[in-house]
Structure 1
Amino acid sequence: MTSAWNSFHLEVLSNVLGWTAFFAWSISFYPQVILNFRRKSVVGLNFDFVVLNLTKHSSYLIYNASVFFSSAVQRQYHEKYGFKEMIPVAANDVAFSIHAVLITAFTLFQIAIYERGNQKVSKISYAIVFVAWFAAAVCCLVALPSHSWLWLVSCFNTLQVTMTVIKYIPQAVMNFRRKSTIGFSIGNILLDLVGGLTNYGQMSVQSIDQNSWVNFYGNIGKTLLSLVSIFFDLVFIFQHYVLYPAKKTDSSSPHFTPESKVEPLVKPSDVDSLQSENV
């Protein structure tokens, strides 16, 4: 069981911040899904980003569910960090992970059915996913004889942190090469930023209440998740609003690229003037 809060007001604030992060992160998936649906295209959305994101959220779900529901994992956590310390996973963390896996899988389904141009999942991404789950399987074999369940779930936590660091890179590079963020929803990024900030705030409130910062280094995955997500969100925001600001006519075409914006050889006004002269 988790230890009691010292301050009722801080407990309420923590719950508000936690569920705000949950809703912001959960809703953040939908702008991209809606954009894909409206355009009937996934051109501009990097497929490696989605594939790596699915691995990230799957491993994060395993970690959150294990820590939140397993009494064995909780016992080993208290033995390592102290019985007065809170379990660093809340109900909103588990709920978010379940939702994230499902909606990311649905985004992959959209990739399969919508126009995608010449985009495809890279071999490097396939290799990363294979190595990640192979490493997870090895960790399971190592932990099984000694029943090191806390160490095992920490491996999944480390895996999700690694995927968080890696997953943003393909999309950022793709935006740079295209000199455009068209097809990649900025709404996703703005909501993700809100989720990262409020998630970090919740952890801070818990630490203040307990007068201990073990909540940060005891759940280093959640800490790094917030910091890395915030950093890349700021990179994408800078790309979208500063480096490659979208034109008003850009978002209407699923196949638009900056190179496609070319003046026609004959303007409609020229055709109208020629027709009037022949009358």
Structure 2
Amino acid sequence: MASRIYLGGSSNPASPDQGIVFATALSRLLGWLYFAAWTASFWPQALLMYRRKSVAGISLDFISLNAFGFVCYSIFNLAFLVSEKVQQQYRNTHHGQENLVRWNDAFFAIHAVLITSWQLVITRIYKRAPGQKVSLWCKITLGILISIFLLTLTTCVIGGGDDDYILRWIDFINICSYIKLFITLIKYSPQILLNFSRKSTRGFAIEGITLDVFGGLFSLLQLVIDAQIINHDWSDVTGDPGKLGLSFISLFFDAILLFQHYVLYGNKAVSEEDEDEEQSPQETEPLLG
């Protein structure tokens, strides 16, 4: 009796596809690598503020938006991991496919909530630059987003979030994802404008941006491997708009911030902030100018 040949070179029908096994292992490795990179990316800014006992140079709008964005992202990830109803509603709308959210996604998001909340607290304690405060447009934006969040949550709670109701739990979870995406789209702009107005990135930890770049690349590569090699279904990618959009948007703005730091401005002192920390010439000079 002729043996059947399986992809990966095995003639044993009980043997797993070696290509799938390798891709699965690589996907898991990439998941923990981007978790490590993104998790570590929060610490340079937090440690810099602690060392300087000052929040001058970091946009308070950026920190405020970041904190609420990661609250939404945590809810999105945890819902897919712990709620059978959300999982089933996702399968019903994606041809039986499972969502690609994993525990490292949730751990990252929870850590982000904790550290951004801590950053918010210390902005109330440490020294600020003259006129440094949360802007009116940021307060209005957060007010609108929080209202949308609470309205959809309340609607789901009242109606049970079932498939036959006006809003399902999966709809609320997707709204959380879209809120996070929107915040990611706008949160970098205040920091970019602040760097431009100060002609310096002093007080902004560029190391966090570098780690964010690595995290975004690892995350995108994991999504591609999961969709193309493991599940053979690109709807897995489009079905996780939070993770996909988060990676692309972050990489775009990261590139702008890296350009500001390493090419345009450098880490020059800003006299009106009356800072007196010592710096090396390498820290204060951009590559151009």
Q: Tell me which of 70, 74, 95 is aligned to 1:57.
A: 70
More helix by percentage: 1
Unaligned runs of 5+ in 2: 1-15, 163-167, 277-289
- Whether 1:161 aligns to 2:161 is no
Q: Give the secondary-structure state (helix, strand or coil) at the position aligned to 2:124.
A: helix
**Residue 45 of structure 2 contacts residue 208 of structure 2 at CA under 8 Å; is this kept in 1?**
yes
**Residue 183 of structure 1 contacts residue 254 of structure 1 at CA under 8 Å; is this kept in 2?**
no
- Whether 1:99 aligns to 2:111 is yes
Measured at CA, do residues 110 and 141 of structure 1 come closer, stay the same or move farther in structure 2, by a change above 3 Å?
Answer: closer
**Residue 22 of structure 1 contacts residue 93 of structure 1 at CA under 8 Å; is this kept in 2?**
yes
Specify which structure has the bigger relative contact order, considering alpha-carbon pairs within 8 angstroms and separated by 6 or more residues.
1
Task: State how far apart, in whole Å, the 1-side matches of 2:22 and 2:80 are.
Answer: 25
Q: Which runs of 4+ in 1 moved over 4 A?
A: none
Match of 1:191 in 2: 211
- Deviation, 1:82, is 1.9
Unaligned runs of 5+ in 1: 258-279
Match of 1:220 in 2: 241
**Residue 202 of structure 2 contacts residue 266 of structure 2 at CA under 8 Å; is this kept in 1?**
no
* 1:13-162 map, 5 Å: 13-83=26-96, 85-118=97-130, 119-144=132-157, 145=159, 146-147=161-162, 148-162=168-182
Match of 1:245 in 2: 266
**Residue 70 of structure 2 contacts residue 180 of structure 2 at CA under 8 Å; is this kept in 1?**
yes
**Residue 34 of structure 2 contacts residue 219 of structure 2 at CA under 8 Å; is this kept in 1?**
yes
Q: What is the identity, as a one-letter code, of the residue corresponding to 1:21? A: Y
Q: Tell me which of 176, 191, 198 is aligned to 2:196.
A: 176
Q: Give the secondary-structure state (helix, strand or coil) at the position aligned to 2:116.
A: helix
- Deviation, 1:142, is 3.6
**Residue 43 of structure 1 contacts residue 255 of structure 1 at CA under 8 Å; is this kept in 2?**
no
* Number of residue pairs the alignment of both structures matches: 250
TM-score normalised to the size of structure 1?
A: 0.85
Q: Aligned Cα RMSD in Å?
A: 2.0
TM-score normalised to the size of structure 2?
A: 0.82
- Deviation, 1:194, is 0.7
Q: What is the identity, as a one-letter code, of the residue corresponding to 1:240? A: H
Task: State how far apart, in whole Å, the 1-side matches of 2:221 and 2:59 are.
Answer: 30
- Deviation, 1:254, is 7.1
Q: What is the identity, as a one-letter code, of the residue corresponding to 1:55? A: F
Q: What is the identity, as a one-letter code, of the residue corresponding to 2:70? A: H
